[in-house]
Chain A
């Protein structure tokens, strides 16, 4: 597989804090990546640096093998509409799409029009008068219709209701299936997007804590539930990432896929097994890794 983005030892430091702390990762082409993490974890900063809208403090970023800064050849193949994107004064969505058409060589106007209809976007109304959801819709439409080789979506669904979000996911998948490209989607709604993602990169506190295929992670943990003594007996020697008790009942989340023998043992002990969703796994694993930060405000 070819890498379209290579990041080595990227650090971004501000006066008050280190937003991105010595991270390295690779993005393979034509995959859908989830860039997941809490608010303030560093997702938008990373995406801004990759698109040369922000600058690294140190480290190396290569897109299509070159540095993206002021590199028109590379930049025109990427699209990054950020979460709170500013638009020209008094511009309407129609203006915005007309401009996008000028700059994105793969822009598909019929697709844009179909999306406009589906999101029921009032294209002639000034952008500053649009609702939060409609504003997000503008960004989403640009992101999808631009068909850029590398497309970033930064929390694209803020303000979109559940129906609109589903439209976004469906249209994105549909267009990706027909026109494969590299998509990087940042989100804090992990479970909602997890089925779209081929790979997940989790950022926490400016560091990468997970960089894997989604499918490998899906059965990585299980929750064992039942009588406290029996539960503790079973989980002894395993890595526990979460523990809750209510009276004599304990619920423990352990890492490691369960074998058939394990399941038999659990059934014999009268313990229940519950699956762990991707969101639960990531949340519990990051909480587990940094208990000291749990009270800290971000």
Chain B
């Protein structure tokens, strides 16, 4: 357990990767979004609340972190005589801690927006109505699982690459895309769009959180199985 915790410390040694850059990305997005809100608001009386998608920016960065956790830190962990299991658990724990931090910031941002009525501009990037429809805790959990999902997708993709190489990874991605398109076609064929839309409408944050965590768990489990046979 001690060595696993040391993996966490190893990942955090370069504080930039897991702390400063996500904060900078978030900070940057906030500034840009606020500027946009300000511009729109100053153009005239806005009746409707504005919603910006800025909160997602750190998530994409987090997916990249997931990739690099494997491509760059895994080989070094091997040189440090760390087992694959210790590396895997330690890295996931680090990701979870960071995701937790991001989720907390997301919730705090939401509270700020609630209190200031949207930064005094009626603009919201954290307190997105649907996400907060079941309360702050669920909103936090939602954002946490979204962040973990992004991380694990990056990590898993990189593990496929390490284990089987470029070709297999590309084929998998194309395969997934084809499956998705096939799914859309099938829905069309069965004229099931109304049902699909209804189902989407009935989704609650908690159910989507559950789904995301389930997918993340599956991808994470698969990553571990592949990691066990990967060569740095």
Q: Is the CB of B81 within 8 A of A76?
A: yes
Interface of B, secondary structure class, is helix
A55 at the interface (CB under 8 A from B): yes
What is the bound-complex CA distance between A78 and B10, given in angstroms? 18
Q: From B10, B16, B78, B79, give the contact of A102 (CB < 8 A).
A: B10
Q: Is the interface of A mostly helix, strand, loop or mixed?
A: loop
Query: Are A88 and B78 in contact, CB atoms less than 8 angstroms apart?
Result: no
Contact B14 A53 (CB under 8 A): no
B203 touches A (CB below 8 Å): no
A103, closest chain B residue (CB): B80
Q: Are A80 and B81 within 8 A (Cβ)? A: yes
Enumerate chain B residues within 8 angstroms of A91, measured Cβ to Cβ.
13-14, 76
Judge whether B86 is part of the interface by a CB distance below 8 angstroms: yes
The stretch that binds B, out of A21-29, A93-101, A282-290, is A93-101
Please tell me if A11 contacts chain B, counting CB pairs below 8 Å. no
Q: Interface residue tally of chain B, by bracket?
A: 20 to 34
Cα separation A96 to B16 with both chains bound (whole Å): 15
Taking the closest CB of chain A, its distance from the CB of B196, in whole angstroms, is 41
For the complex, what is the distance from the CA of A90 to the CA of B84, rounded to whole Å? 22
Please tell me the size bucket of the interface on A: 20 to 34
The CA-CA distance from A103 to B16 in the complex, in Å, is 21
The CA of A268 and the CA of B76, in the complex, are separated in Å by 62
Known A-B contacts A86-B232, A89-B17; A100 and B80 likewise in contact (beta carbons under 8 Å): yes
Within residues 48 to 103 of chain B, which ones have a CB less than 8 A from any CB in chain A? 68, 71-73, 75-76, 78-86
Chain B contacts to A: CB under 8 angstroms: 3, 6, 9-10, 13-14, 16-17, 68, 71-73, 75-76, 78-86, 228-229, 231-232
- 12 contacting pairs across A/B (C-beta < 8 A): A55-B229, A70-B228, A71-B83, A76-B3, A80-B79, A80-B81, A82-B79, A85-B76, A88-B14, A102-B6, A103-B3, A104-B80
